[in-house]
Amino acid sequence: MQKHLSVFMNNPTTFAKDIVIKEYGLLLNGGNSQDIGCRSISSKAFNWLLLNGQSIGENGRELIKVKRRGNGIALQVVNFVGVVETPCGTRIEILPKVTRDSDDTELARKTLLKMLSVVEKIKLEQFHNSSLKIINQPLLEVLITLFLEETSKLIKKGIRSHYRRTERESPFLKGQLLTAKQIRQRPGRQHYFQVSHDIFTADRAENRLLHSALHQVFKWTKSPNNQRLTRELLFVFHDIRKSADYCSDFRKWSDDRTLAHYRDIKVWCRLILSYQSPITMAGQANGVSFLFPMEVLFERYVAAKLKSRFESPLRLSEQTQSKALTEHKEQNWFKLRPDIVIYHDKKVVSVMDTKWKVINQNLATGKDKYNLAQSDMYQLFAYGEKYLNGSGDMFLIYPKHENFDSALEEFSFKPSLRLNVIPYDLVTDQCQISIGVNEHC
């Protein structure tokens, strides 16, 4: 990992190692474009993304699409946000489009961090401080800084140790004598004792995972401050092994009340140690991938924010699939799984779906249809018939932007079944939804 960043100067053969681009932006092979929607990268980085960024197989997810641009081609990043680093050291930060000002990277980064804190259940108390200066850093460095600060707090409260049973050969008798092993002792070694006893050690699953996470971020970080702090924290874990099996150690992570101050750091460790890209990439993906599918992030974030606003007897459920489109051979086929279902006690009173797509309220014609997808309308109609028995109000939620800042006029599938298309403001978290009478969120 390179210790220093290259600076993009007027020389077209010198490329910045840290690239910031917005969703659906273009990456060019060479040149000197520095616009946040169209950035030039080195040929090595461009060719690696071209080979590894496209999906393979039915379940593959693609990071880029190839677009024609003039006499050549460009790579368009699709709806993933986060950080991807190529083997040559080019780090590309992809931010969501959440504001009118495409150059407002600070607000886009802060909004993305807010969404991650809710969805991944990361506590970022200091992040909510409006004067926080670390937001000016690249996204990966921001996450690393917050993780290191959380680790520092944990160390100040104390690294937890526990008693572990160990068996060894000892020149003196300590603990329990293992009689069977002692009898089988080789001639000439009868003066050694085969013993079993407890030792008090910090080498436990939680600390091994934390040690591994610190080693991982030390490989990632390019910030001198983060490198210095990581070295200091690693010194504390010098006598603790790194985890050899993440899954096993996470299962051993204790929820005992004596480890209450470890609960917040567990989420960080899981996030860092499972950083592999969510896409299936062709070839050897030797670079860092720390990516989040934006449609899933938006869906889970909206559901989490709405859930906190509903009060009993209303209840919100995510990804319900209790209904199916058809019945065949006494089996339910083609399960219907809306993003959000609202219950009043046990009765379904509304169905909602989120879409990370751009619609335009100015395109109010039968031809353009606000850029709504016909498949989405069919999908909501099926939800209404099966979950609401053809009667009630449904909601289709899109991100708010300059061409969609207020609810569209109500759609009617039939007099008793209505659909409301509404915007969700990711910056202010404002969203107007009416369930029944005088129930707002």
| Residue 128 pLDDT greater than 90, yes or no | no
Task: Specify the pLDDT at position 175.
Answer: 74
Q: What's the pLDDT score for residue 233? A: 94
Indicate the pLDDT class of residue 130, thresholds 50, 70 and 90.
Answer: very low
238 burial (CB, 10 Å; 0-12 / 13-18 / 19+) is exposed
Judged against a pLDDT cut of 80, whether residue 7 lies above it is answered with: no
Two structure tokens written together for 385? 């018939």
- DSSP state letters, 168-213: EEESS--SEE-HHHHHTPPTT-TTSEEEEEEEEES-SHHHHHHHHH
Helix (H/G/I), strand (E/B), else coil: 419: strand
pLDDT at position 322: 83
Instruction: Answer whether residue 220 shows pLDDT above 60.
Output: yes
Tokens of 419: 């659909």
- pLDDT greater than 50 at residue 127: no
Segment 4-27 shows an average pLDDT of 64
Give the SS3 label for residue 45: helix
What's residue 133's pLDDT? 52
Residue 31 predicted with pLDDT over 50: yes
pLDDT at 148: 93
Lowest mean pLDDT among 7-21, 144-158, 196-210, 240-254: 7-21
Q: What is the pLDDT of residue 339?
A: 92
Q: What is the mean pLDDT of residues 60-75?
A: 83
CATH T-level assignment (fold) for domain 309-424: Trna Endonuclease; Chain: A, domain 1 (3.40.1350)
Most confident among 62-76, 277-291, 424-438 (mean pLDDT): 62-76
How far from 394 is each of 33, 292, 314, 338, 419, CA to CA, in Å?
44, 28, 15, 11, 5
Question: Does the pLDDT of residue 87 top 50, yes or no?
Answer: yes
Q: What's the confidence (pLDDT) of residue 288?
A: 63
Q: Which residue has the higher pLDDT, 435 or 50?
A: 50
Of 102-116, 120-134, 219-233, 283-297, the one with minimum mean pLDDT is: 120-134
> CA-CA distance, 328 to 182, in Å (whole number)?
69
Task: Kindly report which listed range (109-123, 281-295, 350-364) carries the lowest average pLDDT score.
Answer: 281-295
Tens-place pLDDT, residues 94-126: 988 876 655 678 888 888 888 888 888 776 654
408-428: average pLDDT: 93
What is the pLDDT, as a whole number, of residue 57?
Answer: 47
In this model, does residue 5 exceed pLDDT 50? no
What's the average model confidence in pLDDT over 201-210?
A: 90
> Lowest-confidence range among 47-56, 245-254, 316-325?
47-56
Q: Where are the alpha helices (DSSP H) in 274-412?
A: 294-307, 374-387
Beta carbons within 8 Å of 320's beta carbon, 6+ residues apart: 337, 338, 341
Beta bridge partners of 19: 92
Q: State the average pLDDT for the chain.
A: 82
**Residues 285/52, Cβ–Cβ less than 8 Å:** yes
Residue 9 predicted with pLDDT over 60: no
Kindly compute the dihedral angle of the four CA atoms of residues 395, 400, 406, 410, in this order, to the nearest 10 degrees.
Answer: -20
pLDDT at 129: 45
At residue 301, the pLDDT reads 93
pLDDT at 276 over 50: no
What integer is the mean pLDDT of 34-46? 87
Q: What is the pLDDT of residue 388?
A: 93
Residues in the chain: 441
DSSP character string of 340-369 = EEEEETTEEEEEEEE------TT--STTTG
> Which of 155-164, 224-233, 339-348 comes out lowest in average pLDDT?
155-164
The pLDDT value recorded for residue 108 is: 85
Higher pLDDT: 303 or 313? It is: 303
Instruction: Give pLDDT, residue 78.
Output: 86
Parts of the chain belonging to CATH 3.40.1350: 309-424
User: Is 178 a residue whose pLDDT tops 80?
Assistant: no
Q: Is the confidence at residue 135, as pLDDT, over 70?
A: no
What is the reported pLDDT for 435?
73
Percent residues over pLDDT 90 in the chain: 30
Phi, psi of 418 (to 5 degrees): -125, 150
